[in-house]
Chains A and B, each alone.
Chain A
Amino acid sequence: MIFKIEDVTVYFPYDNIYPEQYEYMVELKRTLDAKGHCLLEMPTGTGKTIALLSLITSYRLSRPDSPIKLVYCTRTVHEMEKTLAELKVLHDYQVLHLGTQAKILAIGLSSRKNLCVNTKVLAAENRDSVDAACRKRTASWVRALSTENPNIELCDYFENYEKAAENALLPPGVYTLEDLRAFGKNRGWCPYFLARHMVQFANVIVYSYQYLLDPKVAGIISKELQKESVVVFDEAHNIDNVCIEALSVSVRRVTLEGANRNLNKIREEIDRSKATDAGRLRAEYNRLVEGLALRGDLSGGDQWLANPALPHDILKEAVPGNIRRAEHFVHVLRRLLQYLGVRLDTENVEKESPVSFVSSLNSQAGIEQKTLKFCYDRLQSLMLTLEITDTDEFLPIQTVCDFATLVGTYARGFSIIIEPYDERMPHIPDPILQLSCHDASLAIKPVFDRFQSVVITSGTLSPIDLYPRLLSFTPVVSRSFKMSMTRDCICPMVLTRGSDQLPVSTKFDMRSDPGVVRNYGKLLVEMVSIVPDGVVCFFVSYSYMDGIIATWNETGILKEIMQQKLVFIETQDVVETTLALDNYRRACDCGRGAVFFSVARGKVAEGIDFDRHYGRLVVMYGVPFQYTLSKILLARLEYLRDTFQIKEGDFLTFDALRQAAQCVGRVIRSKADYGMMIFADKRYSRHDKRSKLPGWILSHLRDAHLNLSTDMAIHIAREFLRKMAQPYDKTGTMGRKTLLTQEDLEKMAETGVQDMAY
């Protein structure tokens, strides 16, 4: 359908549109007009992605003089593929109605592992070794050498791509990763480098968060993006954690040992190259004297790792004298490693600010802050000079240098925590030195500053006013949309008591109480006997899940559950979990029924959907608070309180509730679907906790369902399942219209959006 939102003609590839999609587009359009940032919360299953894509591409078409570029960030490769598939449908529709002028170039960009077509490179098992195997065949000096020595293996795809040079272009269209690989194979061009090259020409780029947020990667991939871009972060409820992780480094004993080995190797390389080609090191030295800013022209075609988190004036400065010479730099690193080793030998937990860390480093190892700042870039430069290709082996020293640079650069928003052992296992010494970032706004700030509009959207962004504070930006629009439904297809319940009326909770003093464990077990036993097909249970942590399942096993509760349904358990092993999930789905398909035990914050809770019969009920056992004794969390809480005036309790509750909402949100993925959600903890009935759930869950949480005991919940579940099993009327009756046609929209445009009833 084609309709107008204010002055923009929107091309939407389906015949009907949900009212909330329309409103979403209106808000988005206003954001684009204002050239500002926005926060939009809309439940999953309402077609967020297509609304976004169709509005932004249509906006682009309506403003031919100032074409905007869409940068769409997803969390996983799977989501990337889904987004591109939707875009394909949309693109076909637009081309059908507008002809070739609507043609756009849209590409998905991922790591070499996902894009490479060279079978020999792909044989490597993980991402880093694929990268290294690729570099071994494509680095400029390797290729230069091969002209003399034909035995050196090169990558044909890359050679062909290089030969085509400027002509290596993708024709307009929408390319998924699969399409890119097919295109590359067909032409004999390397799809990875082609895609990277095309980033500057593409109208739509879909890639992972890291390419924008991780300063190490962002410099290579995203530096050419123009200011007139719209950046979308989809499923962005955890964006603050992603930002923090991008700037956090942890150093263990293994890292130090590895780094020492790396240094030895570098040392050897230096000696060898001195003997064979002293001029190269000399040239590097001269370059460094001139400053880092010029290095782009001198690096001989290979991409440099830049650090956009560094202030610009640093880049213009010359590298400090004491690390310009390769040998001196190695000495400095040795001293740094030694110092870190000494610090790791501590018996107590230590917490320090970067400032005091740097000053003690200066007094004890004689390394200045300025020197530290340049470590990362200096190492990169040295590795290029020494022509080291197997970069995956040099990860430990890179980690250490990364650490040094961050410590040297930021005085605020970080802290250094040294723990001699894991809190949970005090008898095993496992010293760890962590540089943890507390300020999510540091990593995302360049993105906000650089691009015209940044859209942060997800199914769960509640409470929506907290995100701007965490990320320190001012959104022009921040709104939470409800889901319009023809029937009440979700049934959230808060269960506070067991059938014996004793309260249930995973509060620390109650969680191991046998009464609570038994009541939780009873709840599941009763539920599996009345809920068909799939049931998913989320626990607060792996250790709690292990404990409770062991108790259930001893008391025979597990056996009772198994009479009704098969039981599958998520483990920390990815392969095992995948297998369990696969079998879980099979059991649901064939009617045997199954229960899946999983952990909030785990892999399953974040990325796996339990839609339709794969999840008719999800039970959230307890409130998934973070491990509050963790030093890092405490440091972050303190920082948040001091800097952003966010109370500790508020942040913890917010974080726990968004995890809980994320878990239960797995169960419903479209409007035709239905599912029940049980929050099994007495703390959910308290208003301060409950009110932080997203609006679309709250609007279905009736007052009568707030303080239930097991038997009442059973009764409600029975009624609900019966009601939902009745035939489903898609369009909805007059009062609750949930599918709008083109005429409806035209009518609405006349009367104004505000009058719309839902």
Chain B
Amino acid sequence: MSNQRKRLTGEREDEDDEDAEGIGEWERAYVDDRSWEELQEDESGLLRPIDNSAIYHAQYRRRLRMLSAAAAGTRIQKGLIRYLYIVIDFSRAAAEMDFRPSRIAVMAKHVEAFIREFFDQNPLSQIGLVSIKNGVAHTLTDLGGSPETHIKALMGKLEALGDSSLQNALELVNEHLSQVPSYGHREVLILYSALCTCDPGDIMETIQKCKKSKLRCSVIGLSAEMFICKHLCQETGGLYSVAVDEVHLKDLLLEHAPPPPAIAEFAIANLIKMGFPQRAAEGSMAICSCHKEVKIGAGYMCPRCKARVCDLPTECTICGLTLVSSPHLARSYHHLFPIAPFDEVPAFSSLNDSRRTLGKSCFGCQQSLIGTGNKPGPCVTCRKCKHYFCLDCDIYIHESLHNCPGCESIHRPKSVSLMEE
């Protein structure tokens, strides 16, 4: 195609090429960076950096509301054991340069981070990788619990070629996931950079098939909203989002790390066999079963077959037992008892609120909540302890801390005594 294009436009194209090579190194940095795009003209004509924090926060609030709305009323069940396939679209569109340095590199980078975060939050789950290239879906890795193998396979071949096919990818994933045990939650997360899908058959049938087999499909688009993706997500109960920039892409990806609410009719309580391996003694020498190498110390022993493994959590390669440590299980705990979303403080009512006049700083970071021009900035309040927090702390508390500092400090005597013990 590119040859043809050259021939079409003839010499002009060549000239352009020369021009592109002609720019100096110092210029290229600016061209690549496109720093001017981060500026915005305000009403008085002054240039200001684009302030996206308010937008980000609004998006985050919406997400939180959505999650808690789903949880309201019934006690929510969450699938802690997830079987997730990540489908990455490596078609021609992935070579585009609108994310720096290219979509493909950005995707790989953030998927790597996501895989680590995912296993951190869902120690009991497994991931598999699938790529789409030349209109065909390829399995990069089968389902497995080791982040390192996935990342290695992912980084192996980074090239973008040909068309993209959503249907092929869904068919492949559906086939793979049809074999997982019934207590596992089947999910697929698609990173889609193309804007069309070239399918061999009727994709609507495939979507119905996914729906029937309880496959939750989520899509993160890299360029624009596509109807078919939206339809897919709506049908299968997944999330559809489109990344605005790199930071947003990262946020959107990480949103998929905590376990989603389980599909009601599918969530049957079940007992699962697990092993809690002991850490091998310092200095003991053994051949690990995962790398087939002699290792001194730093390993775990499977309680059933006594094989040595390097990392937890994993599945024992010899006897197939799921191996976890108790902190892993404990880490999954907060998914089941999340803290309630904070209420937004309306801008006008805060003026005559006596509490507001007293404490004008965020309870979390102690920074002033007074914005520019002595007007109160945006803030939120905890329903239980009625303390005020700034937006950054709001996100930090809900996403990372999973504890409200205000509520914790109310029970101070108890927690102090605990600490002393």
Contact = CB atoms under 8 A, between A and B. Distances in A.
Interface of A: 500, 518, 529-533, 555-557, 559-560, 563-565, 588-593, 612-613, 616, 718, 721-727, 729
B35 to A, nearest CB: 15
Given A500-B12, A560-B5, A718-B98, A727 B196 contact: no
Contacts of B202: 590
A566 to B, nearest CB: 9
Contacts of A532: 195-196, 223-227
B165 to A, nearest CB: 10
B194 to A, nearest CB: 9
Contacts of B62: 727, 729
6 contacts: A530-B195, A533-B227, A591-B228, A612-B227, A613-B227, A722-B243
B3 to A, nearest CB: 11
Contacts of A593: 195-196
Contacts of A565: 196
Q: Give the size category of B's interface with A.
A: 20 to 34
B224 A557 contact: no
Contacts of B12: 500
Contacts of B227: 532-533, 588-589, 591, 612-613
B87 to A, nearest CB: 15
Give 6 nearest A-B pairs by CB, closest first: A591-B228, A725-B242, A721-B224, A613-B227, A725-B225, A593-B196
B4 A556 contact: yes
Contacts of A718: 98, 223-224
A141 B30 CA distance: 89
A591 B166 contact: yes
A591 B244 contact: no
A563 B93 CA distance: 12
A721 B223 CA distance: 7
Nearest to B66: A727
Contacts, number: 85
B379 interface: no
A590 B199 contact: yes
A616 to B, nearest CB: 8
Nearest to A587: B196
B198 interface: yes
A591 B224 CA distance: 12
B203 interface: yes
A725 B221 contact: yes
Nearest to B163: A563
A560 B1 contact: yes
Residue with the highest number of chain B CB atoms closer than 10 Å, among A563, A723, A726: A726
Contacts of B226: 532-533, 591, 613
B203 A591 contact: yes
B59 interface: yes
A616 B195 CA distance: 12
B224 A530 contact: yes
Nearest to A564: B196
A672 to B, nearest CB: 12
SS of A interface (majority) = helix
Interface of B: 1, 4-5, 8-9, 12, 59, 62, 93, 98, 166, 195-199, 202-204, 221, 223-229, 241-244
Nearest to A718: B98
Given A532-B195, A556-B5, A725-B242, 7 more contacts: A556-B4, A560-B5, A590-B228, A591-B166, A591-B197, A592-B196, A722-B223
Contacts of B204: 590
B199 A592 contact: yes
B145 to A, nearest CB: 33
Contacts of A721: 223-225
A648 B197 CA distance: 49
Nearest to B34: A715
B243 to A, nearest CB: 8
Contacts of B228: 589-591
A358 to B, nearest CB: 61
Given A722-B244, A726-B242, A591 B229 contact: yes
A615 to B, nearest CB: 11
B116 to A, nearest CB: 27
B229 A724 contact: no
A241 B4 CA distance: 47
A563 B198 CA distance: 10
A725 B59 CA distance: 12
Given A722-B223, A722-B242, A726-B59, A555 B196 contact: no
B359 to A, nearest CB: 25
Given A565-B196, A590-B199, A556 B8 contact: yes
A598 B199 CA distance: 27
A533 B5 CA distance: 24
Contacts of A556: 4-5, 8
Contacts of B224: 530-532, 616, 718, 721-722, 724-725
Nearest to B58: A729
B164 to A, nearest CB: 10
A563 B4 CA distance: 13
A592 B8 contact: no
Contacts of B9: 518
B312 to A, nearest CB: 38
A531 B243 CA distance: 15
B255 to A, nearest CB: 12
Nearest to A613: B227
B219 to A, nearest CB: 11
A518 B5 CA distance: 12
A557 B7 CA distance: 12
B1 A555 contact: no
A723 B244 contact: yes
B1 A563 contact: yes
B217 to A, nearest CB: 13
Contacts of A555: 8
Residue with the highest number of chain A CB atoms closer than 10 Å, among B197, B221, B227: B227
Contacts of B1: 560, 563
A718 B242 CA distance: 12
Contacts of B244: 722-723, 726
A284 to B, nearest CB: 65
A588 B230 CA distance: 13
A613 B227 CA distance: 6
Nearest to A704: B41
Contacts of A590: 197, 199, 202-204, 228
A588 B62 CA distance: 29
Contacts of B242: 722, 725-726
Contact of A564 (B5, B195, B229): B195
Nearest to A591: B228
A26 B5 CA distance: 58
Contacts of B229: 591
B166 to A, nearest CB: 6
Given A532-B225, A532-B227, A556-B8, A727 B59 contact: yes
A167 B5 CA distance: 75
A367 to B, nearest CB: 64
A555 B7 CA distance: 9
Contact of B198 (A592, A613, A723): A592
B349 to A, nearest CB: 12
